[in-house]
Amino acid sequence: MLKILPQQFYQNPEVKKILVDGLSCVIHKELAGPVFHKEGYVSTHAITLVLNGTMRIENDGGFLTHVSETQMVFLPKDLYMISDIIPDQGSFEAVVFFFDEQLIADFINSINLKTAKEKCVTHITLDYSKEIRIFTESLLQVYNKKELTHRNLTRIKLFELLHLISSHQQGNCFLTALATLNNKERRSLREFMNANFSKPLTIEDYAYLTGRSLSSFRRDFIEQFGVSPKQWLIEKRLEKAQELLSLNHTNVSTVALETGYENTSHFVKAFHKRYGISPKQFLMKKRKEVLV
């Protein structure tokens, strides 16, 4: 199941919330066993620091990044990723910093960062400098207590981390990425939906990720597309499934997953209802047409 971050962390009692202020937060997570092929959607900019173990991150374009122990990776907003978490000596530990767009904008303005025209890479791997190590260790020691709340400190500590990163060797690359992202025009509803219709997201997820309430999302959607979000998603996903099957994708379960269906039987029923034939029958029909 696709996880929207950091919201999913807020709902997980096993993940420690060190500092939280809306979508800006610091999360500390520890895992005893490996996790493979975990789907995630980053709803706001993030930096993951791996303290123990290894993390592999692949975006939807197939770009793969390995994040080793004492390395950090910058993950921009709207990143769809598939990750593998591999413990070392029985455990995996990481600290994840999330920055809402306003905080990033305020930081860019505070250092008078010029507009960047360079293309932003999907995710940047950063070194774990001595200063950032001291910052992180202090953060965990002082604020890692459940009985304390530190909402007002969240912005201050995240600002501090951004300054520490920008002052080191990879700072220019990192700042260029921030400026590029900050100057991107807000994507339209149509662009967002066309880019993400095949993700296993709910209508509520789409509403949230496009910055709308559920009612305003449905209203805006019908105005732009002429049908309800549910009707449009079914049609788009089944069109994509038909295209994949026509290309001789033989595994129906894989096609279901690639078109946003986590339940294969639901996919089969929807496909049959739309086209009057099961995905398997459709595939066999296409094979016969090729042989004729």
134-159 confidence digits (pLDDT tens): 999 999 998 877 655 678 899 999 99
Mean pLDDT in the chain?
Answer: 88
pLDDT tens across 22-77, in order?
999 999 999 999 999 998 999 999 999 999 999 999 988 788 899 999 999 999 88
Question: pTM of this prediction?
Answer: 0.83
pLDDT tens across 267-284, in order?
999 999 999 999 999 988
Q: What's the pLDDT at 210?
A: 86
Q: What's the pLDDT at 249?
A: 65
Q: How many CB atoms are closer than 10 A to CB 57?
A: 22
pLDDT band at 209 (very low <50, low <70, confident <90, very high): confident
What integer is the mean pLDDT of 122-139?
Answer: 89
What integer is the mean pLDDT of 218-240?
Answer: 96
Q: What's the pLDDT at 276?
A: 95
Q: What's the pLDDT at 151?
A: 80
Residue 191 confidence (pLDDT) above 60 = yes
Residue 186 confidence (pLDDT) above 60 = no
